[in-house]
């Protein structure tokens, strides 16, 4: 099916598709058919400044996955910390175990895609929940994550740009989506692959709480100039974390993973491979 791409994004989208999809072949990125000649106006009215790109059928996006949660890690931990009922504690621990595994599985798959993009000396620059989904319904919806492969993938390369490793690139166009843009993009007009790590941290924070850590660019800029005197945290400093194994794992996701990825200075954020190692160590707890 054809996805319409605005003219201003066509050059980036097609350059990235031709470079990335030729190597990836649908393993980590959403599968695009005939990527060599995917820009087509055959089915697009002549008066529209867009083209169509043929991509695989997918279903719900990650934003829906987040919004549809009956309970979040934050909510489960808050209940666990406030109860003394042993049977209730065991029930919550079971729910935490399932929730931890679900989030870690998603992170592994998104990090696979992001690590591949970075290995090709590219920066996505618009990573956000809408860029991912998983098949969970009988009704097909055309969005951005794979139904055929039953895994989360990355799509939408309209903002993608070349950048070698940690090399900073300058830009006059602060591309991306508000609430997920990094401080260096907003304040300094520069970016590198650590810009994607910031966006990933925003996504994980949102998955744990059902709310984004920043309501928009002004809040991110204010956070930047405050020197992060009040680091973004799911719970306040007075929160007493439960000590059972599943609660410890949840804390690692909610506290340490988010803290690492939302460092103000890009040099202090981990790479994709370092985050993958973090998740593997977490699974061994």
Environment class of 22 (CB within 10 Å of its CB; exposed 0-12, middle 13-18, buried 19+): exposed
pLDDT at 138: 34
Q: Which of 145, 132, 184 is nearest to 163 (CA)?
A: 184
Per-residue pLDDT of 87-124, as tens digits, reads 999 999 999 999 999 999 999 999 999 999 999 999 99
Q: Which pTM value belongs to this model?
A: 0.86
Q: Where are the beta strands (DSSP E) in the chain?
A: 2-6, 50-54, 122-123, 161-162, 169-170, 190-191
- Residues written for the chain: 285
Query: Rounded CA gap, 222 and 49, in Å?
Result: 36
Per-residue pLDDT of 183-205, as tens digits, reads 998 888 888 999 999 999 999 99
Q: Which of 236, 234, 207, 239 is nearest to 82 (CA)?
A: 239
Domains: count for the chain? 1
Per-residue pLDDT of 156-167, as tens digits, reads 887 888 887 677
Environment class of 7 (CB within 10 Å of its CB; exposed 0-12, middle 13-18, buried 19+): exposed
Q: How far is CA 146 from CA 61, 66, 153, 176, 238, in A?
A: 10, 17, 6, 22, 41
Give the list of residues 6+ apart from residue 103 with CB closer than 8 angstroms, or none: 73, 204, 207, 208, 253
Query: Rounded CA gap, 174 and 15, in Å?
Result: 19
Strands 190-191 and 169-170: antiparallel
Domain that holds residue 179: 2-283
Residue 276: which CATH number?
Answer: 1.10.510.10
Query: Rounded CA gap, 276 and 285, in Å?
Result: 15
Q: Which residues pair with 51 in a beta bridge?
A: 5
> pLDDT band at residue 230, thresholds of 50, 70 and 90?
low
């Amino acid at each position: 099916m054809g996805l319409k791409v605005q003219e201003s994004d066509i050059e980036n989208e097609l350059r990235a598709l031709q470079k990335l999809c030729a190597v990836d072949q649908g393993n980590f990125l959403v599968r695009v058919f005939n990527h060599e000649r995917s820009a087509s106006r055959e089915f697009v009215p002549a008066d529209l400044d867009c083209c169509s790109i043929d991509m695989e059928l997918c279903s719900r996006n990650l934003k829906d996955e987040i919004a549809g949660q009956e309970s979040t890690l934050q909510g489960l931990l808050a209940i666990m910390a406030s109860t003394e009922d042993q049977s209730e504690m065991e029930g919550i621990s079971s729910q935490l175990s399932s929730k931890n595994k679900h989030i870690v599985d998603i992170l592994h798959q998104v990090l696979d895609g992001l690590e591949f993009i970075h290995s090709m000396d590219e920066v996505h620059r618009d990573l956000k929940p809408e860029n991912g989904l998983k098949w969970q319904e009988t009704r097909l919806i055309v969005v951005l994550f794979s139904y055929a492969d039953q895994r989360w993938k990355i799509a939408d390369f309209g903002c993608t740009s070349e950048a070698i490793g940690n090399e900073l690139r300058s830009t006059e166009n602060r591309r991306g989506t508000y609430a997920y843009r990094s401080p260096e993009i907003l304040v300094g007009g520069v970016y590198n692959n650590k810009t994607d790590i910031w966006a990933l941290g925003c996504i994980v924070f949102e998955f744990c709480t059902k709310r984004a850590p920043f309501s928009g660019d002004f809040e991110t800029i204010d956070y930047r100039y405050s020197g992060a005197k009040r680091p973004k945290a799911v719970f306040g400093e007075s929160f007493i974390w439960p000590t059972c194994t599943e609660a410890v794992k949840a804390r690692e996701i909610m506290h340490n993973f988010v803290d690492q990825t939302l460092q103000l200075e890009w040099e202090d954020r981990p790479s994709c491979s370092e985050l993958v190692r973090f998740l593997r160590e977490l699974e061994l707890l």
